[in-house]
Amino acid sequence: MTLPLNKTYRPMEATPASELPAGPEWQYEPKWDGFRCLAFRDGKRVDLQSKAGKPLTRYFPELATALTALPAKQFVVDGEIVIQQDGPPFFVYQRRLGSAKVVPYGRRAGRSCRQAP
């Protein structure tokens, strides 16, 4: 059975609380500096999307490639694209997205990915 992927999912957002919930059903993770991303896989196709619904796949082709290597053929993952400690600094990845008007769109996005792997 094949089900269509709904690309209108909204990312989970943190909500303020006066204290942390307790119990074995709760898990916590550190807050990393990165890019919020929803990853959709349907067969061989992988689409990465920002929390605002903007396409991110062309800016992170290595992530899309890695997701196609997973055994699951259909999924939606809500997470954060984080930067490795021994990798390029965070601002290098911001350039991929054109945060400083460095990468507007189109063919230059591919060039930017090669310059800031």
- The alpha carbon dihedral of 112, 113, 115, 117 has a sign of positive
CATH class, domain 34-115, is alpha beta
Per-residue pLDDT of the chain (117 residues; tens, 9 = 90+): 355 667 777 777 777 888 888 899 988 777 777 788 999 999 999 999 988 888 999 988 989 999 999 999 999 999 888 876 676 666 676 777 665 443 344 455 555 555 555
For 27-60, how does the pLDDT look when each residue is reduced to its tens digit (9 = 90+)?
877 777 778 899 999 999 999 998 888 899 998 8
User: Going edge to edge, which strands form the sheet with 45-49?
Assistant: 45-49, 34-42, 74-82
| Residue 15, amino acid | T
Return the H-helix or E-strand segment holding 78.
Answer: strand 74-82
Catalytic residue among 31, 44, 54, 73: 31
pTM equals 0.65
Q: Quick check: is 31 catalytic?
A: yes
Q: Where are the domains of the chain?
A: 34-115
Quote the tokens at residue 31. 């807050």
